[in-house]
Chains A and B, each alone.
Chain A
Amino acid sequence: MYVAVKGGERAIENAHRLLAHERRGDREVPELSLTQISGQLSLGVDRIMTEGSLYDRELAALALKQARGDMIEAIFLVRAFRATLPRFGASEPVDTGQMQVRRRISSTFKDIPGGQILGPTFDYTHRLLDPELAEGSKPEAPATAEASAAIMPRVTDILGRDGLIEPSPQLDADAPVGDLTREPLSFPADRDLRLQNLARADEGFLLALGYSTQRGYGRSHPFAGEIRLGEVEVEFMAEDVGFAVPLGAVTLTECQMVNQFKGSATEAPCFTRGYGLAFGQSERKTMSMALVDRSLRARELGEEVIAPAQDEEFVMSHSDNVQATGFVEHLKLPHYVDFQSELGLLRKLRKEFSEAAADTPEPMQEAAE
């Protein structure tokens, strides 16, 4: 138990002053600007937006700067900021099928309508450190080619036309969309609530869980049906205006996992799906999310729940890194009173132990020894 302590104001103030000084680093070196962070450390900013659950590049860049590059601290700052603003409402659901695509790949079909587009990717790089970058080299201008106006259907839509994959669950008009920022978690949780939880979940935690399913702890035989990155328009039904107003575009990454079959006596076997969606360019996150979304559907699909990644209470209760760090890190705050009572109890137990030992007569020597 944590009991409040008093005092130490001066030391705390000086510690924060020292923190600000250390954060600045060498004062002879130019200070980082938010535009630099947002533009040049953009995937870090994307992760803070995703797990901070707030789409605002500038705020996420500020959080990263303030947190000295500590992602979880930055995510914490963003979450705290979001609590200061009123919510106007919820957007119309975004249509990722209408995305202005900047990257789109499928590991299931070589020839997909609209083509495979690598976009800005680390894939196929050799992972060799680049000394030129250390010296501040100027990159070449991007190559260009004639863009085709062909639409890019989701790979799952193509499979869906032949009934080879299960359809997405459709809207239940009577059920409000679950929101874990408004209602505490309760189990069993529906898929909408699970996806919200996974969307803001720690990337490392989801990566490890997704990996565990591949290694046999709740195997689901996944293929990356499609990963796409790009800009999606957002609309908001504003009551005062009387129609859905455009708010601008957000960058999203979407991953559609295609997993092995289910079928029954009455339904032909078909592929099942796992889904991942995140702010910015967050490929590893959405892939892990889609793996875990699929494994958490074990109950719904009649699979035996035997692995951590299939246990929704385990996954959803431990996925949030702000909650997790709060509970782990609170251990370093003063617990003096609590510890004193433990110490008292331990001394009492040791006293009883030594008294009991003194009262016991020496055991008789066995004759054979």
Chain B
Amino acid sequence: MTVADENGKQAQRKAAMAVLAHSDAAEIARRLEPIAVPAYENLREPENGLVMLRGRIGGDGAPFNLGEATVSRAAVRLATGEVGFGYTLGRDRQKAQMIALCDALVQSNEFSGAVEANVLTPLRAAMASERDRKAAETAATRVDFYTMVRGEG
């Protein structure tokens, strides 16, 4: 694989992970159901842990430690060799394992199309519509203050 292919593949995996991390575990499971998932083994048993969340001083300066978040992670290997990783905020280990499985499937020529069509596309659409709904509700509270000279009004 060329460097460009490598980068493209990485961007694709990352985009898939972003959608999955935002999605509900039950939704991912439901979308995965129709896919005949190949045999796989756990490379890393799903586990809970913490990640220290960092902010930046002033929003754009040097980093500082804001506080921790619970995170779950897992890693799987398909019988065909692809290794997938799953990371997500929260303590849902099953969700981390499903993300790992999807990450492995995304890398498989045989399954990447099915995962994109059955899992990622609908979840991405649900995420976008949720985001749009929030944005529209937020937009309705946009305010135009006007200033008055003191003593006026």
Contacts and interface: CB of A to CB of B under 8 A. Distances in A.
B36 interface: no
Given A56-B91, A87-B49, A177 B85 contact: no
A177 B57 contact: no
A192 B67 contact: no
Contacts of B143: 115-118
B60 to A, nearest CB: 5
B14 A199 contact: no
Interface in A24-48: none
Q: How large is the interface on A (under 10, 10 to 19, 20 to 34, 35 or more residues)?
A: 35 or more
Q: How large is the interface on B (under 10, 10 to 19, 20 to 34, 35 or more residues)?
A: 35 or more
A191 to B, nearest CB: 6
A82 B66 CA distance: 14
A234 B22 CA distance: 11
Given A86-B50, A87-B50, A192-B62, A93 B56 contact: yes
B122 interface: no
B82 to A, nearest CB: 13
A313 interface: no
Contacts of A169: 57-58, 61-62
A66 interface: no
A355 interface: no
Nearest to A254: B59
B55 A96 contact: yes
Contact of A59 (B70, B135, B142): B70
Nearest to A51: B67
B124 to A, nearest CB: 13
B21, B44, B55: which has the most chain A beta carbons within 10 Å?
B55
A100 B49 contact: no
Nearest to A89: B51
B51 A100 contact: no
Interface stretch (A146-154, A260-268, A317-325, A345-353): A146-154
B2 interface: no
Interface in B27-83: 44, 48-71, 73, 75
A102 B64 CA distance: 24
B64, B73, B87: which has the most chain A beta carbons within 10 Å?
B64
B88 interface: yes
Given A53-B68, A55-B89, A147 B138 contact: yes
A196 B67 CA distance: 7
B147 A110 contact: yes
A110 B145 contact: yes
Minimum-distance CB pairs A-B, first 10 = A168-B61, A168-B58, A55-B69, A147-B135, A192-B64, A144-B136, A53-B67, A248-B21, A246-B18, A143-B140
Given A147-B132, A177-B65, 11 more contacts: A88-B51, A94-B54, A100-B135, A145-B142, A146-B136, A148-B139, A238-B87, A241-B85, A245-B17, A246-B17, A247-B51
Interface of B: 10, 13-14, 17-18, 21-22, 44, 48-71, 73, 75, 85, 87-91, 131-147
